[in-house]
Structure 1
Amino acid sequence: MGNNKNGVVLLLMAAINFTHILDFMIMMPLGNYLIPYFKISPAQFTYLVAAYTISAGISGFLAAFFVDNFDRKKVLLFGYVGFLAGTLACGIAPTYGFLLLSRLFAGTFGGLIGAQVLSIIADMFAYEQRGKAMGSIMSAFAVASTFGVPFSLYLANLISWHAPFLMVVLIGLITIPFLLKYIPSLTAHIQAGDKPTMGQRWSIMQNVLKSKQQRMALIFSGLIMMGHFLVIPFINPYLEFNKGFSKQQTPMIYLVGGVASFIAANWLGKLADRKGKLLVFRICVLAALPLVLLITALPDMHFAIVLVLFAIWFTLSTGRGVAAQAMVSNVIPAATRGSFMSFNSSIQQLGTSAASLVAGLIVAKGTNGRILHYNWVGYLSIAVLMTTVIIGLRTFKQTDVVRRVNPV
């Protein structure tokens, strides 16, 4: 019965992840709709994309000072309801300014969600089983890429750009009653009778800064996101304007990559539990480096081969993410895990924002819309990911635990 209950919890956490990941991801391909609709510049559109991650990063940082004083279930529900309210506002936004404020509002609560999901998983699953659990949760990213984004674009074409946001709200409203029923109250991390003062709350931050392992774990987490998202924003423009693939072909990248990620998240999560998370992380990073070179300086080849390359790349990227977050969650005791994972979520958001900004500064627009210097972005991504391997070896080598029993 316990295993069934944990399975339901994993499914619900994945559903939460699906909605708030899709809400973030759908903004980028909606540029073709929003720019002419609101008569805004490309720069103004980037503010819409960045608004969510910036506000999420700030709220995640601030939340770290108080979330461990409360039941994790209550914090999760509070954040999720606020996120859905912000997304609803996006779906009915009549003006650009209203939509920008709505994105900031949704991101503020979205910053609470990611950290709480990870903390709940870390509280409910032993470290030796956490790779599989993290894999199940992170498979939501694959589902969002594979089914969520294409279906959202279909709705945008069929109805309007408002429809994808309203779809996210509908899914969220269906999910909430199940959260209330099946997510247990999680208060074991709260010390009985202990109500921290503001000074004690600030000491949470000081404790993170004083602990070398915690500091390096946060840097490690942020750099992984940066190394990955350096390449992501310009995949579609590069394939279309540089390599000549059509708008009908390029969405297949995310479909195939999403399916591969969904399979990899579960399979590599289990493998990480058996063989060691640090080992799986290193293999996934190193095996992906040649693919980064190929993707960012793609020779002429049949589109079927391109799909295979991206499927492998998404598989390895998912594997390193699953193993990495399982290791990061283990550097902190349960009593302050919520605060630490809030810091972690904030750093991840900043890593994603930094990647988009840096990639935008590096690439240039050539004739006929061609993307210039995309290979430079690939070189930087490789350098960042190699740095994470070095940090990982120094930070997690002593704490990585391998399951010593055969899985049933």
Structure 2
Amino acid sequence: MTTSAQATTAPTTTLLVKERLLLWSLAAINFTHIVDFMVMMPLGPQLTKLFHLTDAQFGLLVSAYSLAAGVSGLMVSMVIDRFERKRALLWVYAGFALATLACGLAPSYGALMAARVAAGVFGGVLGALVQTIVGDAVPFERRGQAMGLVMSAFSLSTVAGVPLSLWMASVWGWHMPFFAIAAASVLVWLAAWRSVPLLRSHMAGVSAQPPIEQLRRVLAEPNHWRAFALSMLMLTGSFSIIPYITIYTTTNVGLSQDQVPYVYLAGGLATLFTARLWGRLTDRWGKVPVFRLISLGAVLPMLALTHLPVVPVPVLLVVTTAFFVFVSGRMVPGMALLTAAPEPAMRGSFMSVNGALQSAAMGVSAWVGGLMISRTPDGLVEGYGRAGWLALVATLIMVWWVGHLRLHTQGKAA
């Protein structure tokens, strides 16, 4: 009896170990990808001073990455399901590493802009591929925890990636963080090559149709558009706030440039634990209820941060940490829901289009956020509170809208 039980449980244990290694590799890819995107924002004061940029020009530098990611994701959506997932991931990740290296080598604002566009082209596809592989490889009933682990890369990037990048920038110059990310990507590429399984079951019948047909099928499904709308709402409010946190807190709230890493360290440490917690609660209580709960919880820190006066640093850290915990936290059940919106045969194309729309939402939101704020004669930022009210409206709409999704859960309840 014991031998039989061991024989029965051994394959399951092995499967779970392989799944965990896969998820850690995907989390590492997410880590490098997210640090590459996020590091631009705390470097804002240095870059605006170095290149003599206005706040709107800096917002455009942030937006260029996202908009390029959006365009590339839309184009790739027509063909992504024709390729085996692992091979596609490795090729795209290699391109991302090279583009990030180019960012570090950029000698001017124009060259940096071009390199950021190239990084965005690969980065947008990369994020969609990671989410697609989670959807293909992990059953829906464990997908909340899987997303929590993969998206804990956001937390780790704020705990380690961004503060370490800022330290490198202060010691060796702003180029060094990009060199470090490119070097780390080589090691992560090797780990992914070893741990990501071959995933080709989605390819059946896809190659027989014209590339444009796959995109047409994705766009023709009304439920996909409901999911796309939810996805864009998740990012609309938050990314009118996030790119300008450092600029606002250092000019209006009294935070010194040396204290900026504390914001990301505190927020990252907290979300490193809460991302996994949100994942467990998502699978236990249901994706939709937990998504609504976390989204409503995000409203208060969004409004508090965008209206914050001069306060002691500990108070500021409480507000920014709560912001990171809830704003990033709602992405865990949100992405678990989005991976269940399409049928498996269209998941890669769907996630690519979704990534394109997310990137567009981030880029447009960052640009709108830059237009909302301005400077007073004494150099203070004004108008930041408008971004908080935009986030409130977007949150209330998506809390209602999430109930309209139809999910492919293979018989499992959402």
Compute the TM-score of the two structures, normalised by the length of structure 1.
0.92
Kindly, what percent of the aligned residue pairs are identical? 36
1:92 pairs with 94, 105, 125, which one?
A: 105
Q: CA deviation at 1:362?
A: 1.5
Alignment of 1:294-309 (within 5 A): 294-299=304-309, 301-309=311-319
**CA deviation vs aligned residue, 1:12-70 (integer Å, no higher than 9, x gap):** 10110111111111122223444454566655544432221111110001110000011
Change in CA separation of 1:123 and 1:51 when aligned onto 2, cut-off 3 Å: same
- The code of the aligned residue for 2:190 comes to P
Q: Aligned in 2, Cα 1:37/1:297: closer, same or farther, shift over 3 Å?
A: closer
CA–CA distance in 1 between the matches of 2:24 and 2:191? Answer: 10
Structure 2 distance, partners of 1:3, 1:97, is 47
The one-letter code matched in structure 2 to 1:304 is P
Change (3 A) 1:311 1:213: same
- 2:77·2:349 contact (CA, 8 Å) conserved in 1? yes
Which among 142, 166, 187 is matched to residue 174 of structure 1? 187
Secondary structure of the equivalent of 1:368?
coil
Q: How far is the alpha carbon of 1:251 from its aligned partner? A: 2.9
Counterpart Cα distance in 1 of 2:51 and 2:305: 33
Look up the match of 1:341. Answer: 351
User: What is the aligned partner in structure 2 of residue 22 from structure 1?
Assistant: 35
Structure 1 residue 322, shift from structure 2 partner: 0.4
Distance in 2 between residues matched to 1:306 and 1:46, nearest whole Å: 23
Rounded to whole Å, the distance in 1 between the matches of 2:201 and 2:157 is: 32
Residue 78 in 1 paired to residue 91 in 2? Answer: yes
**Greater CA deviation, 106-115 or 388-397?**
388-397
Partner of 1:188: 201
Give matches, 1:6-405, under 5 Å.
6-35=19-48, 37-38=50-51, 44-191=57-204, 195-198=207-210, 201-299=211-309, 301-396=311-406
When the two structures are superposed, what TM-score results if normalisation uses the length of structure 2?
Answer: 0.91
Structure 2 CA distance for partners of 1:403 and 1:332, relative to 1, 3 Å: closer
Q: Indicate conservation of the 8 Å contact 2:69/2:123, yes or no.
A: yes
Following the alignment from structure 2 to structure 1, what is the Cα–Cα distance between the partners of residues 248 and 111?
Answer: 32
CA deviation vs aligned residue, 1:256-311 (integer Å, no higher than 9, x gap) = 11111111111111110000011011111112212222222225543323322322
Partners of 1:301 and 1:33 lie apart in 2 by: 23
Q: 1:397 to 1:121 in 2, by over 3 A?
A: closer
Cα–Cα, structure 1 residues 388 and 298, in superposed 2: closer, same or farther, change >3 Å? same
Q: Following TM superposition, by how much is the alpha carbon of 1:2 offset from its aligned partner in structure 2, in angstroms?
A: 1.2
Shift in Å, 1:92:
1.6
Q: Deviations over 1:131-160 (max 9, x none)?
A: 000111111111111211111111111112
Deviation at 1:195, TM superposition (A): 2.1
**1:397–1:118 distance in 2 versus 1, CA, 3 Å:** closer
Give the conservation status (yes or no) of the 8 Å contact 1:275–1:402: no
Judge conservation of contact 2:168–2:177 (CA < 8 Å) in 1. yes
Amino acid at match of 2:398: T
Name the CA distance, whole Å, in 1 between partners of 2:326 and 2:281. 13
Contact 2:234 2:394 in 1 (8 A): yes
After the TM superposition, which of the residue ranges 356-365 and 53-62 deviates more from structure 2? 356-365
Which whole-Å CA distance do the structure 2 matches of 1:158 and 1:186 have between them?
A: 43
Task: Tell me which amino acid in the other structure corresponds to 2:355.
Answer: S
Q: Which moved more, 1:372-381 or 1:272-281?
A: 372-381
| Cα distance in 1 between the residues matched to 2:266 and 2:118 | 32
Distance in 2 between residues matched to 1:188 and 1:398, nearest whole Å:
17
For 2:104 and 2:311, the matched residues in 1 are separated by 40
Secondary structure at the aligned position of 2:258 is classed as coil
Instruction: Give the Cα–Cα distance (whole angstroms) in 1 for the partners of residues 255 and 167 of structure 2.
Output: 20
235-244 or 268-277, larger mean C-alpha shift = 235-244
Shift, 1:187, TM fit: 0.2
Instruction: Return 5+ residue gaps in structure 2 as ranges.
Output: 1-13
**Whole-angstrom CA distance in 2 between matches of 1:101 and 1:12:** 29
Q: What amino acid does structure 1 have at the position aligned with 2:145?
A: K
State the Cα RMSD in Å.
2.1
C-alpha distance in structure 2 between counterparts of 1:238 and 1:37, whole Å: 18
CA, structure 1 residues 145+402, in 2 after alignment: closer, same or farther (shift >3 Å)? farther
Alignment partners' CA distance in 2, 1:256 and 1:355? 25
Identify the range of structure 1 (34-43 vs 82-91) with the bigger mean alpha-carbon deviation: 34-43
